[in-house]
Chain A
Amino acid sequence: MMRQVASWFYCLLFAAALLLLMGLSLRLGPTPTSSWDAWNACFAYDDASDAQFAIRQIRLPRTILAAIIGASLATSGAIMQGVTRNDLAGPTIMGLSSGGTFCLLLGLLLLPGLGFNQAIWLSFLGAGLGYFTVYSVAFLARGGITPVRLALAGTVVSILLSAFTQGLTIYFTLHDEMLYWTVGGIANTSWPQVATALLPALPGMLAALLLAPSITLLSLGEEVAGGLGQRTQLVRTVATLSVLLLTGGAVAVAGPVGFVGVMTPHLARYLVGYDYRKIIPLTALLGAILTVAADIASRTAIDGQEIPLGLFTSMIGATFFIALARRRSSQRGGPH
């Protein structure tokens, strides 16, 4: 019971932190604004005011989008880690991001008037393709799937897909179009994009929450889950669909935002233990906090210059990932 109270407390605490951070994000930017402007822009919008206009049409969609992306990526990482029982799993590592980018590029090539809605479909397709490739490489390897081998396969498939992406980018001189997707940026977000991003994120999140108890069982191991009467194949399928919805949407909107999905589930597990009913909402909150903070940093770190969101998360996330890889392989004794 004590534990239950504690996890609710964490959720409330981080929800409050997220709201504060989002408020801060509305205030920061080149147009000077007051907190009152921010309040009015949300609840009593007056389009005659410059400050309110900047908040309502530029900063608010952007802030919300950052939160959606962070929550999606983090949740998808948590599901992957639970289902594959692999601490190192995440959208960037498992080939989802690079697969999504690759298919987006193909889309840019084949459908010149590529709109946002088609981009999202392509991104799902690519994320699925990348995930499938990584999984089959690890599966076909001699000795079967181990956590580290899965991570390694993902890494190499990602490098491979990025080489293809780069090659095609150069061949068709699509640098400007691709730069936007490949560094992970959400500059120039507008409301329609937020709506399109929410479309896959909502059912994805819902599926994740409904699956949470089953993932807890599955994370104990296939035999245990099966022995307790769980239809593991069904759970895996739904989990994969949910991961694709969440990651595909985020990649389509923001490009590959690195390492958020690997990092946040660990923080959540550290706080609330191994019950995915608690982990998933907390992970979503933490992921949103992380990306909103990274987005604020990306707008304000250098004056008058936009640093792509993905750069910050990569730098923080890579450090975290190394610590995990250390712990993971020393526990398992390493494959050699």
Chain B
Amino acid sequence: MSSHLRTLLLVLAIVIVASLVSMSLGSHWMSPTSLASSLLGYGHATHEMILWSFRLPRVLLVLLVGWAIAISGVLMQAVLRNDLAEPGILGVATGGNLGVTLALILFGTQIASPWSLPAMSIAGGLLAVLLVCGLAIDRSGIYPARLLLTGVAVSAALGSFTLVLSLNIDRQIYAQALAWATGSFNKADWNYVLALAVWLVVLMPIVLAICPVLNILRLRDENVIGLGLNVFQWRVLLLVLAVALGAAAMAMSGGIVFLGLIAPHLARRLVGPQHGWLIPAAGLMGMLLLLVADTAGRTLFAPVEIPAGIMVGGVGGIYFVYQLMTTKG
């Protein structure tokens, strides 16, 4: 058994243990035995209800979102050849939020479902990311720093625009739109889990199929073209894929910044830069980080719940500062 595989299995085991711990924590503590019996279907009726209608879907949704955002980060970093790229900063969150708000204004709340929201969010997120990349590109390529600054500025502008739009809409619609913006999982139910799982089942095989291309894309352009690849087409395809993953996830959770940056970084330390290993490792790290953030956010400060997005933002910001200080350039 290779050492990378062993690492992955170890992380997977940690994720499973963390999920179980998270499921037993809450306003109503469940002992390991009652958790096990409730999961298997012969526990206390109240416990089963709490577990199956609230905690289990929530934990699963967190895991799926963490996985999708982390892998979206890996793809973006590969495509833009920039280790500071990540969906939250490049405008996926604010763009997605704008998409959702616009759709709610235009068509009313009845179209909002776990199935339609990702589509609106993806449309908005895609628009924002293309805008950011388009503005940051010139003939000589994309400068990492410019890309990030452009992302921040576009996010500020889109955020303002969304706020202006939402000030003038129906209060009820506004409350619904706002729920997507804060990055929280307190509305998680099985429909969301199922919807995101379906997206991932469609997208993940494509991602895994193009792993070899990702490894090549990190080389210099001349070499890639020498290998007979159409660099531009691949980049666009991968970027669309990255946004689809990130925006679908954020449609379920709201804006989560920095997760797509940290998870790939940690994963690279564990398994190195080859994407065949990096992608699952980053996905698992994303799951673990978001799960810890969400569990801490809902238990440490109970009865108040701090959205997972804010918890990740706080810790992630410190990590980003550290990266900025230690990476060259």
A156 to B89: give the CA distance in the assembly, Å.
10
Shortest CB–CB separation between residue B254 and chain A, in angstroms?
A: 12
Per-residue contact bits, chain B 138-170, to A (CB 8 Å; 1 contact, 0 not): 101001111011101110110111011001100
Question: Are the CB atoms of B149 and A321 closer together than 8 Å?
Answer: yes
Of all chain B residues, the one with the shortest Cβ separation from A308 is B163
B321 at interface by CB-CB < 8 Å: yes
A329 at interface by CB-CB < 8 Å: yes
Asked if A325 meets B157 with Cβ closer than 8 Å, knowing A166-B310, A330-B140, the reply is no
Give the contacting residue for A137; candidates B136, B160, B163, B321; CB below 8 A.
Answer: B321
B324 at interface by CB-CB < 8 Å: yes
Which residues of chain B have C-beta atoms less than 8 A from A234's C-beta?
Answer: none
Give the contacting residue for A318; candidates B157, B301, B324; CB below 8 A.
Answer: B157
Question: Are the CB atoms of B317 and A159 closer together than 8 Å?
Answer: yes
Asked if A334 meets B146 with Cβ closer than 8 Å, knowing A159-B257, A171-B301, the reply is yes
Question: Are the CB atoms of A334 and B167 closer together than 8 Å?
Answer: no
Question: Are the CB atoms of B145 and A334 closer together than 8 Å?
Answer: yes
Question: Are the CB atoms of A325 and B325 closer together than 8 Å?
Answer: no
Give the contacting residue for A315; candidates B148, B161, B258, B318; CB below 8 A.
Answer: B161
A33 at interface by CB-CB < 8 Å: no
Which residues of chain B have C-beta atoms less than 8 A from A49's C-beta?
Answer: none
Shortest CB–CB separation between residue A280 and chain B, in angstroms?
A: 25
Per-residue contact bits, chain B 280-317, to A (CB 8 Å; 1 contact, 0 not): 00000000000000000000010011110011011001
Which residues of chain A have C-beta atoms less than 8 A from B148's C-beta?
Answer: 152, 155
Per-residue contact bits, chain A 274-306, to B (CB 8 Å; 1 contact, 0 not): 000000000000000000000000000010010
B135 at interface by CB-CB < 8 Å: yes
A141 at interface by CB-CB < 8 Å: yes
A163 to B89: give the CA distance in the assembly, Å.
14
Question: Are the CB atoms of A163 and B326 closer together than 8 Å?
Answer: no
A35 at interface by CB-CB < 8 Å: no
Give chain A interface residues in 304-336, CB to chain B under 8 Å.
305, 307-308, 310-312, 314-315, 317-319, 321-322, 325-326, 328-330, 334-336
A334 to B329: give the CA distance in the assembly, Å.
8
Question: Are the CB atoms of B138 and A326 closer together than 8 Å?
Answer: yes
Which residues of chain B have C-beta atoms less than 8 A from A163's C-beta?
Answer: 257, 310, 313-314, 317
Asked if A160 meets B146 with Cβ closer than 8 Å, knowing A314-B157, A318-B157, the reply is no
Question: Are the CB atoms of B306 and A170 closer together than 8 Å?
Answer: yes
A129 at interface by CB-CB < 8 Å: no
B174 at interface by CB-CB < 8 Å: no
Shortest CB–CB separation between residue B93 and chain A, in angstroms?
A: 11
Shortest CB–CB separation between residue B293 and chain A, in angstroms?
A: 11
Shortest CB–CB separation between residue A175 and chain B, in angstroms?
A: 11
Which residues of chain B have C-beta atoms less than 8 A from A162's C-beta?
Answer: 313
Shortest CB–CB separation between residue B20 and chain A, in angstroms?
A: 27
A142 at interface by CB-CB < 8 Å: yes
Question: Are the CB atoms of B145 and A152 closer together than 8 Å?
Answer: yes
A160 to B317: give the CA distance in the assembly, Å.
5
A170 to B304: give the CA distance in the assembly, Å.
8
Of all chain B residues, the one with the shortest Cβ separation from A162 is B313
Which residues of chain A have C-beta atoms less than 8 A from B306's C-beta?
Answer: 167, 170-171
A259 to B154: give the CA distance in the assembly, Å.
12
Question: Are the CB atoms of A160 and B149 closer together than 8 Å?
Answer: no
B328 at interface by CB-CB < 8 Å: yes
Shortest CB–CB separation between residue A143 and chain B, in angstroms?
A: 6
Question: Are the CB atoms of A335 and B145 closer together than 8 Å?
Answer: yes
Give chain A interface residues in 107-165, CB to chain B under 8 Å.
137, 140-143, 148-149, 151-153, 155-157, 159-160, 162-164
A183 at interface by CB-CB < 8 Å: yes
Shortest CB–CB separation between residue A145 and chain B, in angstroms?
A: 12
Which residues of chain B have C-beta atoms less than 8 A from A251's C-beta?
Answer: none
Asked if A156 meets B145 with Cβ closer than 8 Å, knowing A149-B324, A183-B163, the reply is no
Give the contacting residue for A258; candidates B154, B156, B304; CB below 8 A.
Answer: B156
Shortest CB–CB separation between residue A197 and chain B, in angstroms?
A: 23
A88 at interface by CB-CB < 8 Å: yes
Give chain B interface residues in 51-89, CB to chain A under 8 Å.
82
Which residues of chain A have C-beta atoms less than 8 A from B153's C-beta?
Answer: 318-319, 321-322, 325
Shortest CB–CB separation between residue B165 and chain A, in angstroms?
A: 10
Question: Are the CB atoms of A322 and B154 closer together than 8 Å?
Answer: yes
Asked if A142 meets B325 with Cβ closer than 8 Å, knowing A170-B304, A171-B304, A319-B157, the reply is yes
Shortest CB–CB separation between residue B112 and chain A, in angstroms?
A: 23
Question: Are the CB atoms of B135 and A326 closer together than 8 Å?
Answer: yes
Question: Are the CB atoms of B157 and A148 closer together than 8 Å?
Answer: no
A173 at interface by CB-CB < 8 Å: yes
Of all chain A residues, the one with the shortest Cβ separation from B300 is A171
B190 at interface by CB-CB < 8 Å: no
Of all chain A residues, the one with the shortest Cβ separation from B183 is A166
Which residues of chain B have C-beta atoms less than 8 A from A321's C-beta?
Answer: 149, 153
B33 at interface by CB-CB < 8 Å: no
B320 at interface by CB-CB < 8 Å: yes
Question: Are the CB atoms of B138 and A330 closer together than 8 Å?
Answer: yes
Which residues of chain A have C-beta atoms less than 8 A from B257's C-beta?
Answer: 159, 163
Question: Are the CB atoms of B150 and A322 closer together than 8 Å?
Answer: yes
Given contact pairs A329-B143, A336-B143, enumerate 17 new A-B contacts (beta carbons under 8 Å).
A148-B145, A156-B324, A160-B317, A167-B310, A167-B311, A258-B156, A302-B167, A315-B164, A318-B153, A318-B160, A319-B157, A328-B146, A329-B145, A329-B146, A335-B144, A336-B145, A336-B329
Provide a sorted-by-A list of 24 A–B residue pairs whose CB atoms are within 8 angstroms. A137-B321, A137-B325, A142-B326, A152-B149, A156-B317, A160-B314, A166-B313, A167-B310, A170-B305, A171-B301, A302-B168, A307-B164, A311-B164, A312-B160, A314-B157, A315-B161, A318-B160, A322-B135, A322-B154, A325-B150, A325-B153, A330-B140, A336-B145, A336-B329
Please give me the 7 A-B residue pairs with the lowest Cβ-Cβ distance, nearest first: A160-B317, A334-B143, A163-B313, A318-B157, A335-B329, A329-B146, A318-B153
